[in-house]
Amino acid sequence: MARANDEAADLIQELADLLSITGGDAYKIRAYEKAARAIAGYPEDISGLDLAGLKKIPTVGDAIAKKLLDYLATGTIRQVEELRAQIPAGVRALTSIPTLGPKKAMAVYEALGISSVPELAEAIRQGRLRDLRGFGAKTEENILHGIELMQQAGERVLIDVAADLAEEIVAELSRVTGCVRCTYAGSLRRMRETIGDIDVLAASGDPGPLMEAFTALPYVTEVIARGEKKTSVRTVKGLQVDLRVVPPESWGAALQYFTGSQAHNIRTREIAVRAGLKLSEYGLFDAGTDELIVSETEEEVYQRLGLPWIPPALREDGGEIEAALAGDLPRLVTVEDLRGDLHSHTDLTDGTASLADMVAAAAGRGLEYYAVTDHAPNLFMQRMTDEKALAQREEIRALQERHPGLTLLHGTELNIDPDGGVDWDADFLAGFDVCVASVHSHFTQDKAEMTRRLVRACENPHVHVIGHPTARLIGRRPPVDADWDEVFKAAARTGTALEIDAFPDRLDLPADLIRRAKRFGVKFSIDTDAHAVGHHRNIRYAVGTAQRGWLTPDDVINTWPLDRLRAFLRKT
């Protein structure tokens, strides 16, 4: 991964945020936001690029490229520094509340001197906000709700942030002399959607050099605790990382223990106790003689407990122990099982890469089919038209000749309107190979309305996949309220797949709903929803989510051969 890309993207995004506080030009702000996404998603490390190289990044023009040069030379962007100096830090803290816009943040600061989240919550409780111009009871409720969302997300980070850092640390430590094995465990190995801290495990007869190398990593900001067996540090993004070093012969037992979850470990320990054994991070021992029985691999540890190896994504005490004992563990879907991707965008709408680049990225993943599904006209900001959609179809036909091994599908991402209708009429829709339909507005409809809306979308014979069905944004927007069992019944009955969207702040459907939907016979589509070349890498997070929902390849329509997929898309 390229850390410079992330830092530069953060600075450009901050520039957009700061400009929106000072009432900057909306067009410019949008351009910065788009560029920030493009920079973060750019596959090449920007730190080696010159002006011409930087301008090759999609949506980055001369002005932004110069800001990036400024960053590469000085580690910051001058305009960001100037704006930071102008705008009180308190106001910036307030804008981290997802439901409080920059203008309102500035207003409460100027009128009431409020400059922190707790002060704001207190002022709302005292009813001091509702007399301000542009504020009312509804605004207060919204802000409080935003504060709640923020607190729920707490100190946890999204899975991609943790995964990128963990992989970098594992790569560094693996190079240290004496390191026999190294990997990450904990919630990240189980692919939870958010991560509290990263747990890295290493095997070595000599922990000293590993602990040294770990605390010396450039992104470590604080050493919280340093010991022989365990060292904990805090890193630049505030995320804590624990490193545990165990003797090589304890590897399997330690990996099992530190992968967790705690609830799963309690179950495995009980099984050990009932068999006259003792299970710890050091191994599986005879409870009577303390003699070590096995500890080198996880497989051996599970086997000696009378269990097959259990995939980490299932280790939540959610029935996996019972299934393992009965020999009923599912054969979970993997990234390698995926033959296609049914949801992606290009720079024709809000993507940052060209059609050719996105298709090349799909080919690079070894896919057999790939659907381009740019936004439909009712998402007005994206300015889709019939003509543009048809022109794109021609472009795809032409491009197909260059990719004999990859079948290109022309699709679209429709907008499900409040009544459950979609953008185009049946005739026009019939021209697409695949239609994803998603909720992009009116998120707060009541349960009955939202249920009807989603059921109607499923009943549309031209809708094949419901995109990011709950529309949640982790830590920023709650899931829509619907009677999900009714939606699942409709999806199963009509042969409409539900998506598992790979964006780390979506992961939608979430795992618990996936598992429930599967019981109704629902089929799923595991998609990137890629808006940039780099987003293709996110697919593993959606697969992890699918695994946590106990899905097998057969449950997932884009693991199927194209013929079987096409039959499903006919919805007969």
Q: What residues make contact with ligand DGT under the rule CB under 6 A?
A: 186-187, 192, 195-197, 199, 257-258, 260-262, 265-266
What is the number of other CB atoms lying within 10 angstroms of the CB of residue 347?
19
**Of residues 15 and 422, the one with the C-beta less far from Zn ion:** 422
341 within 8 A of 558, measured Cβ to Cβ: yes
**Of residues 257 and 503, the one with the C-beta less far from ligand DGT:** 257
Strands 292-294 and 407-415: unpaired
**Of residues 261 and 297, the one with the C-beta less far from ligand DGT:** 261
Smallest distance, Å, CB 540 to ligand DGT?
17
- Tell me how far the alpha carbon of residue 551 is from its chain's centroid: 18
Of ligand DGT, Ca ion, Zn ion, none, which one sits near residue 341, judging by CB under 5 to 8 A according to partner kind?
none
39 within 8 A of 15, measured Cβ to Cβ: no
Smallest distance, Å, CB 190 to ligand DGT?
7
The DSSP line for 64-89 is: HHHHHHHHHHHSS-HHHHHHHHHS-H
**Of residues 230 and 403, the one with the C-beta less far from ligand DGT:** 230
Of Ca ion, ligand DGT, Zn ion, none, which one sits near residue 260, judging by CB under 5 to 8 A according to partner kind?
ligand DGT
Signed CA dihedral, 333, 460, 384, 400: sign only: positive
Smallest distance, Å, CB 472 to Zn ion?
15
Smallest distance, Å, CB 550 to ligand DGT?
19
**Of residues 100 and 158, the one with the C-beta less far from Ca ion:** 158
Of ligand DGT, Zn ion, Ca ion, none, which one sits near residue 258, judging by CB under 5 to 8 A according to partner kind?
ligand DGT
Report the distance separating Cα 526 and Cα 365, nearest Å.
Answer: 14
Using CB under 5 A as the binding rule, the residues of this chain from 363 to 422 that contact Ca ion are none
Q: Closest-CB residue for ligand DGT? A: 260
> Is 242 one of the binding residues for Ca ion (CB under 5 A)?
yes
Of Zn ion, Ca ion, ligand DGT, none, which one sits near residue 265, judging by CB under 5 to 8 A according to partner kind?
ligand DGT
The 8-class DSSP code of residue 101 comes to -
Based on its alpha-carbon atoms, the radius of gyration of the chain, rounded to whole angstroms, reads 25
**Joined tokens for residue 365:** 């993943």
**Of residues 395 and 413, the one with the C-beta less far from Zn ion:** 413
**Of residues 242 and 347, the one with the C-beta less far from Ca ion:** 242
Smallest distance, Å, CB 568 to Ca ion?
39
Q: Which stretch binds Zn ion (CB under 5 A): 264-272, 293-301, 511-519, 526-534?
A: 526-534
Tally the C-alpha atoms within 13 A of residue 393's C-alpha that lie toward its C-beta.
Answer: 15
What is the number of other CB atoms lying within 10 angstroms of the CB of residue 270?
13
Q: For Zn ion, how many residues bind (rule: CB under 5 A)?
A: 2
**Of residues 260 and 467, the one with the C-beta less far from ligand DGT:** 260
From residue 450 to residue 489, what is the string marking binding to Ca ion with x (rule CB under 5 A)?
A: ----------------------------------------
Of ligand DGT, Zn ion, Ca ion, none, which one sits near residue 298, judging by CB under 5 to 8 A according to partner kind?
none
Report the distance separating Cα 138 and Cα 115, nearest Å.
Answer: 21
Report the distance separating Cα 371 and Cα 563, nearest Å.
Answer: 15
Smallest distance, Å, CB 234 to ligand DGT?
14
Smallest distance, Å, CB 312 to ligand DGT?
10
Report the distance separating Cα 421 and Cα 462, nearest Å.
Answer: 11
Strand ranges for 146-282 from DSSP E = 157-158, 181-184, 194-195, 198-203, 220-225, 230-235, 240-246, 277-280
**Of residues 201 and 565, the one with the C-beta less far from Ca ion:** 201
Q: Which stretch binds Zn ion (CB under 5 A): 40-48, 225-233, 509-517, 524-532?
A: 524-532
> Is 341 one of the binding residues for Zn ion (CB under 5 A)?
no
Smallest distance, Å, CB 373 to ligand DGT?
33
Q: Which of 70, 193, 413, 499 binds Zn ion (CB under 5 A)?
A: 413
Using CB atoms within 10 Å of the CB of residue 132, give its burial: 0 to 12 exposed, 13 to 18 middle, 19+ buried.
Answer: middle
Among the listed residues 534, 370, 546, 455, the one whose alpha carbon sits nearest the alpha carbon of residue 37: 534
**Of residues 251 and 503, the one with the C-beta less far from Zn ion:** 503
The DSSP line for 130-167 is: TTSTT--HHHHHHHHHHHHHHHHHTT-EEHHHHHHHHH
Q: Which of 186, 252, 311, 330 binds Ca ion (CB under 5 A)?
A: 186
**Of residues 168 and 197, the one with the C-beta less far from ligand DGT:** 197
**Of residues 163 and 497, the one with the C-beta less far from ligand DGT:** 163
Among the listed residues 558, 564, 500, the one whose alpha carbon sits nearest the alpha carbon of residue 339: 558
Instruction: Pick left, alpha or beta for residue 471 (phi over 0 → left; psi -120 to 50 → alpha; otherwise beta).
Output: left
Of Zn ion, Ca ion, ligand DGT, none, which one sits near residue 303, judging by CB under 5 to 8 A according to partner kind?
none
Please state the length of the chain. 572
Smallest distance, Å, CB 266 to ligand DGT?
6
Report the distance separating Cα 255 and Cα 186, nearest Å.
Answer: 9
569 within 8 A of 340, measured Cβ to Cβ: no
Give the SS3 label for residue 336.
helix
Among the listed residues 347, 359, 348, the one whose alpha carbon sits nearest the alpha carbon of residue 401: 359
> Is 529 one of the binding residues for Zn ion (CB under 5 A)?
yes
**Of residues 311 and 479, the one with the C-beta less far from Zn ion:** 479
> Is 242 one of the binding residues for Zn ion (CB under 5 A)?
no
Using CB under 5 A as the binding rule, the residues of this chain from 244 to 303 that contact Ca ion are none
> Is 199 one of the binding residues for Ca ion (CB under 5 A)?
yes
Of ligand DGT, Zn ion, Ca ion, none, which one sits near residue 529, judging by CB under 5 to 8 A according to partner kind?
Zn ion
Of Zn ion, Ca ion, ligand DGT, none, which one sits near residue 261, judging by CB under 5 to 8 A according to partner kind?
ligand DGT
Among the listed residues 240, 161, 171, 158, the one whose alpha carbon sits nearest the alpha carbon of residue 202: 171
Of Zn ion, ligand DGT, Ca ion, none, which one sits near residue 548, judging by CB under 5 to 8 A according to partner kind?
none
Would you tell me which residues interact with Ca ion (CB under 5 A)?
Answer: 186-187, 197, 199, 242
Would you tell me which residues interact with Zn ion (CB under 5 A)?
Answer: 413, 529
